[in-house]
Amino acid sequence: MGAQQSHPIPNNHHHQQQQLPSDATNQQQPIRRKIGEGCSLFGTANSGKSTLYYLAKHILRKEWFYSSKIEFEHDLQYACCSMMGKLWSILEESERKQMKGLILERFESTLDKIEEIIRIKDWDLFDSFPQVSNFDFCELLIHVWKIPNMRELYEIRWNEISLNISQYCNEHKNSINLHSRLNLQMLENLPEFLENIENPNESFLPLTWCYECTNSSKQFEFRYGYFRDVGGARTERRTWMQSLASMPETIFLVISLSEIDQYLAEDDSQTLRIQDTKRMFKFMNSIPELMDTRKIVLFTKPDILIKKLQKGVTVNLGNSFQNET
């Protein structure tokens, strides 16, 4: 059992006081700069910041290509497991029952405990992934995606919830925890992710398509200093000033273009995510001690924005950032 024969693999595996944004409630103290070089990523949850951190780690450490087939297989299986779990979570109960029957029909000979491994109700496999990683989640995801009408069903379900993730998660709060709802938007990448599986290239890094939202700050060292992800959830922003105290020469501000018509997933408010991003942008540009710090704005997910516009989504941003530049 395993994924060795079920999907293609790339041929080469070497492969003053300022007010903090929402929920940063600690009293702010003036920044005391420390000597050091490096850069940090700031961005809201689901902005793509964690994926950029993951990419930077590979690039700056010169680990762009996988060193072994086993390493690639593990990441691919984990990514497929994550995608399958999120896809399963947005299906209706009747649709799950139908899918379960079709899954059993194809995988019955290799799944001894389908209820235990797939966990039909929640599909919360992330903590137990090492114990079930000998199952081919890549083959399962491809099989489910090829079921007749599955792509249309995915489009219908995702379009229903993508505009207001917060409302959807509130209605399903008994079965969807905060960690899951923050990561639900990885489904934006599902069609492109599957295209990369079927037509991989040497630079295909599976986790960049479904990287989990960070729950805390983290960093890695490289030749010229450090690279830090400060965390983006609203409950984590109270630690931002601590990160800024040892901050460096460069600040990256990550803004997702796909969030323009979405509401915050972390609470029941009707706050547009773009407004939350605007507050972060304003905050970072209003700290006197950081006036001379180089700031680079990175816009992510333009492909998702294009697809939304093609589907007729209309958004009036007005002059949202006119006074912040």
pLDDT digits (tens, 9 = 90+) for 74-99: 888 888 887 887 888 788 888 877 87
Do 147 and 194 touch, CB atoms closer than 8 A? no
Please give the Cα distance from 269 to 266 (Å, whole number). Answer: 8
Please report, for the chain, the start and end positions of each structural domain, with discontinuous segments joined by +.
38-64+212-324, 69-201
The residue whose two tokens read 């912040």 is 324
3-state DSSP call for residue 227? strand
Please name the residue that has the structure tokens 């009408």: 149
**Could you report the per-residue pLDDT of 184-234, keeping only the tens digit for each?**
777 878 888 899 898 877 778 887 777 655 556 788 888 778 888 887 766
Domain 38-64+212-324 class in CATH? alpha beta
8-state DSSP, 216: S
Q: Which residue is listed with tokens 């299906």? A: 91
Long-range CB contacts for residues 237-242, cutoff 8 Å, separation at least 24:
237/20, 237/21, 237/22, 237/23, 237/24, 238/20, 238/23, 238/24, 238/25, 238/26, 240/20, 240/24, 240/42, 241/20, 241/24, 241/26, 241/28, 241/29, 241/31
- From the list 36, 6, 1, the residue with the least C-alpha distance to 243 is 36
Alpha-carbon gap, residue 207 to 300, rounded angstroms: 16
Q: Which residues fall in the annotated binding site for Mg(2+)?
A: 214
Determine the Cα–Cα distance for residues 93 and 102; give it in Å rounded to an integer. 14
Closest to 123 in 3D by CA, of 145, 152, 91: 91
Amino acid in position 205: L
Sign of CA dihedral 187, 99, 91, 231: negative
Q: What angle do CA 275, 280, 286 make, to 5 degrees?
A: 125
- Phi first, then psi, for residue 218 (nearest 5°) are -155, 160
Q: Is the pLDDT of residue 176 over 70?
A: no
Using an 8 Å Cβ cutoff, are 143 and 103 in contact? yes
pLDDT in tens, 19-57: 445 554 344 444 444 444 788 888 877 788 878 887 888
Residue type present at position 245 = A
Q: What is the SS3 assignment for 264?
A: coil
Mean pLDDT of the chain: 70
The answer, as to whether pTM is greater than 0.95, is no
Q: Is the pLDDT of residue 1 over 50?
A: no
Binding-site members are: 214
CA quadruple 180, 182, 183, 187: dihedral positive or negative? positive
- Residue among 47, 24, 22 nearest 274 (CA): 47
Most confident option among 5-14, 52-61, 258-267: 52-61
The two three-digit tokens of residue 20, written as one number: 């903090």
